[in-house]
Chains A and B, each alone.
Chain A
Amino acid sequence: MNTAPARRTEAREAVPAKWRAFRRTFRKNWELYLLITPVVLYFFIFDYLPMYGIQIAFKNFVAAKGIWASEWIGFDHFERFFNSFYFDRLILNTLGISLYQLAIGFPIPLILALLLNEVGNRHFKRFVQTVTYAPHFLSTVVMVGLIIIFLSPQNGIINHLIAFFGGERISFMTEPEWFKSIYVFSGVWQGMGWSSIIYLAALAGIDPTLHEAAKVDGASRLQRIWKINLPGIMPTVVILLILNVGQIMGIGFEKIYLMQNDLNIESSEVISTYVYTQGILGAQYSFSAAVGLFNSLVNLVLLVLVNRIAKKVNETSLW
Chain B
Amino acid sequence: MKESVQDRMTLIVIYILLSIILLLVLYPLIFVVSASISDPLTVSRGEMWLFPKDLSFIGYELVFANKEIWTGYANTLLYTLVGTAINLVMTIFAAYPLSRKDFAGRNVITAYIVFTMFFSGGLIPTYLLVKNLGMINTMWALIIPGAVSVWNIIIMRTFFQTSIPNEIQESASIDGCSNMQTLWRIVLPLSMPIIAVMILFYSVGHWNSYFNALIYLNDRDKYPLQLFLREILIKSQVDQMAGSMDLSVQKHLMEAEAIKYAIVIVANLPVLLLYPFLQKYFVKGMMIGALKG
Chain A residues in the interface with B (C-beta under 8 A): 21-22, 25-26, 28-29, 31-33, 35-36, 38-40, 42-43, 45-54, 56, 67, 112, 115-116, 118-119, 124, 127-135, 137-142, 144-146, 148-150, 152-155, 157, 160, 163-164, 171, 173-174, 189, 192-194, 197-198, 201-202, 215, 220-222, 236, 239-240, 243, 246, 253-254, 258, 261-263, 272, 275-276, 279-280, 285, 288-289, 292-293, 295-296, 299-300, 303
Contacts and interface: CB of A to CB of B under 8 A. Distances in A.
Contacts of A295: 122
B275 interface: yes
Interface string B187-205: 0000000000000000010
A130 to B, nearest CB: 6
Interface stretch (B1-9, B55-63, B77-85, B158-166): B1-9
A155 B44 contact: yes
18 contacts: A31-B179, A31-B180, A36-B98, A40-B109, A53-B129, A112-B21, A128-B18, A133-B283, A140-B208, A146-B264, A192-B21, A193-B25, A201-B286, A221-B6, A236-B293, A275-B122, A280-B123, A296-B122
Which of B128, B178, B208 counts the most chain A CB atoms within 10 A?
A: B128
Contacts of A240: 293
B179 A142 contact: no
Contact of A258 (B94, B97, B230): B230
Contacts of B104: 21-22, 25-26, 29
B96 interface: yes
A47 B121 contact: yes
B233 to A, nearest CB: 3
Contacts of B127: 279-280
A191 to B, nearest CB: 11
Interface in B200-224: 204, 207-211, 215
B125 interface: yes
A31 B49 CA distance: 61
A299 B109 CA distance: 23
B134 interface: no
Interface string B27-57: 0110110000000000111100100000000
B174 interface: no
A55 B129 CA distance: 13
A139 B208 CA distance: 5
Contacts, number: 277
Contact of B96 (A35, A53, A153): A35
Contacts of A138: 208, 268
B123 A279 contact: yes
Contact of A220 (B4, B226, B229): B4
Contacts of B28: 146, 150, 189
A157 B31 contact: yes
B122 A289 contact: yes
A211 B10 CA distance: 16
B128 A53 contact: yes
B275 A134 contact: yes
B64 interface: no
Chain A interface SS verdict (over half): helix
Contacts of A157: 31, 46, 49
A296 B120 contact: yes
B22 A174 contact: no
B69 interface: no
A258 B290 contact: no
B125 A51 contact: yes
Contact of B125 (A50, A142, A222): A50
B281 interface: no
Contacts of A25: 102-104
Contacts of A174: 241
Nearest to A150: B28
A31 B103 CA distance: 11
B22 A139 contact: no
Contacts of B17: 115
B124 A279 contact: yes
B149 to A, nearest CB: 11
Contact of A116 (B1, B18, B96, B264): B18
A279 B232 CA distance: 26
B131 to A, nearest CB: 9
Contacts of B183: 35
The 4 A-B pairs at the shortest CB distance, nearest first, are namely: A50-B121, A145-B233, A53-B125, A160-B46
Contacts of A201: 286-287, 290-291
A40 B148 CA distance: 11
Nearest to A259: B234
A2 B217 CA distance: 67
Given A35-B93, A36-B93, A285 B128 contact: yes
